[in-house]
Every structure is written in C-alpha cells, then in structure tokens.
Amino acid sequence: MRLTNDWQAAIRVIEKIEKSGYEAVIVGGAVRDTLLQKQVNDVDVATSAMPEEIKKIFHSTVDIGIAHGTVLVLDEGQPIEVTTYRTEGIYVDFRRPEQVTFVKSLEKDLERRDFTINAMAMTKSGELIDLYGGRKDIESGLIRAVGDPNTRFREDALRMLRAVRFSAQLGFTIESKTLSAIQQDSDLIEFIAKERLHMELTKMWTTNKVYDGINVLVESKLADYLMGDFHKYLEDWRYFSATSALVGWAYLCLLNREHLGEIINYYKLSNKEKNFIRNVLNAYQSLLNRWNELDYFQYDLETLEVAYDFAIWQKEKVPFRKEHIALVKSNLPIQSIGQLAINGNHLKDWASQKGGPWLKVALDAALLAVLKGQIKNDEKHLKDWFLNEFNDEG
Ligand code: ATP
Ligand code: MG
C-alpha cells in the first residue's frame, strides 16, 4: 500500500492518541477508497478519546464540529479530522440529529454508518476491521445499507440520496433490498434540509457516471420527490460529464428552464452558482442564434465552452468545432473593455455633450466596430468614425 501524506499524518495522530491510552483507527471513505485503490482524499480518524482529551493531546486543534465530536488536528502537517466514537441518538422527522451520544466502542460507531463499504475501519498498521462485509461488497460493487435498510433510511432519509451518489461515484449497483427500501421510503427525502441535498448532488455532478446516477434516481423513485424533472430529461444526461459541479447545476437549470427560479430557490443555489448559470444560459441562447464577436468578447472561455457542450448534449447543430472557440476568442482585437482606446470621456468631449443614454449606445457601437475589425483600435480612427459615421447613423 502506498501511503499518502494524509495517511502518514493520520498514522502519527493515531500513535499519539494510543500513547495517551486511547484507541484510534482510520474510518469511512479513506478505508473504502484504499481498498478500491482509488485516490484517497480525506483521511478521517475515529477514537475512543473524548474531544476534550484530543484537545489536550495535541497543541494545535480547531473545533470544527464539537457537538458531533469532531476536532481538527493540525499538529502533524496535514489537517486530520478526529471524531470520538459515537452513535446518533434519537432521530426526529427522518433527519440526522443535532446532538449525538459518545460511546466507548468502535463497533457501535461503525454500526451507525450508512453503507457497508463506508463502515470499515483500519488500524495504523493496515489491519482491516470489517464487521458488515464491506470488503465483499466492494468486490461485488454493491451499495448495501448497514442493518435493516428501511430503519436506516427512516433514521436519516438523506442516506437514500447518498446511495445514489455513491453508485454514480463508484459505478456500483444498489443492492436489491436496499433499493426496494429506497423505493418504499423515497417520499421521506422531502424532510431533508435542502443544503444537504445540495451537497450530495454537488458531489454527484463530477462523478464519471452521472447518467447512471440520474437513472437510479428515477428508478429509486427519489426523483419523484426532488425538484426538477429527471424522468422526462433522462436521455439528455447521457453524454453529460463535468469537472466542476457548477456545470451540473447549470445543466439541471437548462433542462428545467421553465422552472428556473424554483430550482434555484429549492436547492438554495449560491450567488456564485447563480451567476455561472445566468451566464451559461445566456451564452447558450446566443449560440443557438450563432455567436457574434460581442459574445466571444463578453463571456469567458469556460462559459462559452460549457454552453457549447450543452448544445452538443442537446443535439443542437453547431457548425464548428470546440477548439474554434479559444481561437476566435484569442484573435479578438481586444480582450477587455479596458483595452478599448477610448472611454466615455472622449466621446463626451468630441460630442460636446453631457452623458446620457446616447453614451452607452455609442460606446457599445465603438466596441462592436473594433471587435469586428471595422475600425482600428486607436483614438484617431475612433474619433473619425464617431464624428463622421456614428453621428450620421444616429
Ligand atoms: P467522500 O469521499 O465522497 O467524502 P465519504 O465516505 O468520506 O466519501 P462523507 O460524506 O465525507 O463520505 O462521510 C464520511 C463517513 O461518515 C462515511 O464514510 C460514513 O461512514 C459516515 N456518514 C456520512 N454521512 C452519513 C449519514 N448520513 N449516515 C450514516 N453515516 C454517514
Ligand atoms: Mg469525506
């Protein structure tokens, strides 16, 4: 096993905790991804020590979720999340509780985890603790609830959407009893805070199997209780692929553009997401009428390329290749408005007039003429154009 820096830092954290007389192991996603020989992102540590004890053992810690027993340890170079063994106590309204109960045994901690593949632990020397057959399910590519699936989904209904997300992320199948339970309980997803739905879908958009994920979302009936029509637009997702989650949100919005406002509100999209969506949807609309120089100028390359992909996925006819976009954009006479040789003050001088709506019209016309290569971008040529041609036209 090749040890990443994170994993090595986690081992040092575990050694220190053990020296103080407590247990500690690596848990959750890191163990799963190691068995899958996938890149491990965050290495989480679980321990029998209480959060206060962890804060005594390490000099530098941050309370990132003390109510849930999580302390971030910074001592060992890489930040490592250390969480006290816990159960989740009482579930109200099918949601994960705000408060948790700390327990002394790792078994209890693993029992509260959602899926067998996520419920394994590993000691610092790499010994696997697998109480629920997680390794076997990894080998068979199965997402299986720990314990009775209906009970687990009624405790925390988000787990149903997590099953779909993990199936897309890992290319796994949801085991049949787990899938039936989701189909039975799918309506409970309506109780879940929209921020948590947002988090899971955000993770899904950058997986390799988004189309498969949407398919399972429909098959599991979760789609019936989520905003957006996944059933009707299933085939539109077939070629979708993205390295940024923003693209997933934008595509969902494009497909459901008749309910754009509702989608944005329901999933509580951020300002960054909203701006990206607005730009891409506008660029997409312009593309259908053929982009002009102003479009190439005003949208950044990413926006243009995403709008282009959308058009392809939507089977729109686009009469040029994607590489063409960067080429056209880089060949524009200017790249930003600051590079235009004149500004509003020049125009006001030349016209001997105060500012007003005419000014924006004239500046836009100058910009477009420069972008189209009709006028050279210097003061003299622009002045000639303004005094002789623009005024005549306007
Ligand atoms: P990723 O690599 O996508 O972050 P992960 O397995 O680390 O995957 P997280 O959402 O970060 O997923 O959760 C960490 C671990 O906490 C999971 O592996 C699982 O054991 C447990 N877990 C997270 N959310 C839940 C939940 N809603 N119910 C039960 N256990 C959960
Ligand atoms: Mg994680």
pLDDT at 7 over 70: yes
Residues 6+ apart with CB under 8 A from 25: 14, 45, 46, 47, 106, 121, 122, 123, 124, 129
329-379 residue pLDDT tens? 999 999 999 999 999 999 999 999 999 999 999 999 999 999 999 999 999
Report the residue among 118, 192, 196 best suited for mutation to probe ligand 1: largest number of ligand atoms under 8 A from its CB.
118
Superfamily of structural domain 1-138: Beta Polymerase, domain 2 (3.30.460.10)
Task: Report the largest interatomic distance among the alpha carbons of the chain, rounded to a whole angstrom.
Answer: 88
Q: Judge whether 123 and 156 are in contact, CB under 8 Å.
A: no
Residues 6+ apart with CB under 8 A from 180: 149
Q: Please tell me the predicted confidence (pLDDT) of residue 393.
A: 53
285-327 residue pLDDT tens? 999 999 999 999 999 999 999 999 999 999 999 999 999 999 9
114 Cα–ligand 1 center, Å = 7
User: Which atom of ligand 1 is least distant from the CA of 119?
Assistant: 20
Residue nearest to atom 18 of ligand 1 (CA): 28
Q: How far apart are CA 229 and CA 234, in angstroms?
A: 8
Residues in the chain: 394
Q: Please tell me the predicted confidence (pLDDT) of residue 392.
A: 55
CB atoms within 10 A of CB 267: 21
Q: Judge whether 81 and 45 are in contact, CB under 8 Å.
A: yes
CB atoms within 10 A of CB 34: 22
User: Which atom of ligand 1 is least distant from the CA of 30?
Assistant: 7
* Chain centroid, CA 147 distance in Å: 29
pLDDT at 394 over 60: no
Give the pLDDT band of residue 1 (cuts 50, 70, 90): low
Q: Is 96 in the pocket of ligand 1 (CB under 6 A)?
A: yes
Q: Is 159 in the pocket of ligand 1 (CB under 6 A)?
A: yes
374 Cα–ligand 2 center, Å = 55
Q: Please tell me the predicted confidence (pLDDT) of residue 203.
A: 98
Q: How far apart are CA 95 and CA 158, in angstroms?
A: 8
CATH of 337-393, one of 3.40.50.10440, 3.30.420.40, 1.10.246.80, 3.30.565.10: 1.10.246.80
13-65 residue pLDDT tens? 999 999 999 999 999 999 999 999 999 989 999 999 999 999 999 999 999 99
With pLDDT > 70 as the criterion, what percentage of the chain qualifies?
A: 98
36 Cα–ligand 1 center, Å = 16
Q: Which two three-digit tokens encode residue 338?
A: 């600051």
> CB-hemisphere CA count at 13 Å for 277?
22
SS3 content of the chain, % helix, strand, coil (to 5): 55, 10, 35
Q: Is 114 in the pocket of ligand 1 (CB under 6 A)?
A: yes
Q: Judge whether 273 and 267 are in contact, CB under 8 Å.
A: no
29 Cα–ligand 1 center, Å = 7
Q: How far apart are CA 361 and CA 353, in angstroms?
A: 14
User: Can you give the residue ranges of every domain in the chain?
Assistant: 1-138, 141-226, 230-332, 337-393
CATH number belonging to domain 141-226? 1.10.110.30
Q: Which two three-digit tokens encode residue 120?
A: 């394994």
pLDDT at 256 over 80: yes
Residue nearest to atom 17 of ligand 1 (CA): 28
Q: Is 28 in the pocket of ligand 1 (CB under 6 A)?
A: yes
Q: Is 29 in the pocket of ligand 1 (CB under 6 A)?
A: yes
Residue nearest to atom 11 of ligand 1 (CA): 29
Name the amino acid, one letter, at 200. E
Q: Is 203 in the pocket of ligand 1 (CB under 6 A)?
A: yes
38 Cα–ligand 2 center, Å = 13
Protein residues with C-beta less than 5 angstroms from the ion ligand 2: 29, 42
Task: Tell me what the pLDDT averaged over the chain comes to.
Answer: 95
Q: How far apart are CA 218 and CA 230, in angstroms?
A: 7
Residues 6+ apart with CB under 8 A from 159: 114, 115, 145, 152, 153
Residue nearest to atom 6 of ligand 1 (CA): 29
Residue nearest to atom 9 of ligand 1 (CA): 29
0.85 exceeded by the pTM?
Answer: yes
Pinpoint the alpha helices (H) of the chain. 5-19, 29-35, 51-57, 106-111, 134-140, 149-155, 158-170, 176-185, 194-205, 210-219, 245-255, 260-266, 271-288, 293-298, 301-313, 323-330, 344-351, 357-371, 379-384, 391-393
Q: Please tell me the predicted confidence (pLDDT) of residue 66.
A: 86
Q: How far apart are CA 127 and CA 231, in angstroms?
A: 44
CB atoms within 10 A of CB 207: 19
Strand, helix or coil for residue 173: strand
Cα Rg of the chain, angstroms: 28
Q: Judge whether 194 and 266 are in contact, CB under 8 Å.
A: yes
Q: Which two three-digit tokens encode residue 324?
A: 């063409």
Q: Is 158 in the pocket of ligand 1 (CB under 6 A)?
A: yes
51-80 residue pLDDT tens? 999 999 999 999 999 889 999 999 888 999
243 Cα–ligand 1 center, Å = 21
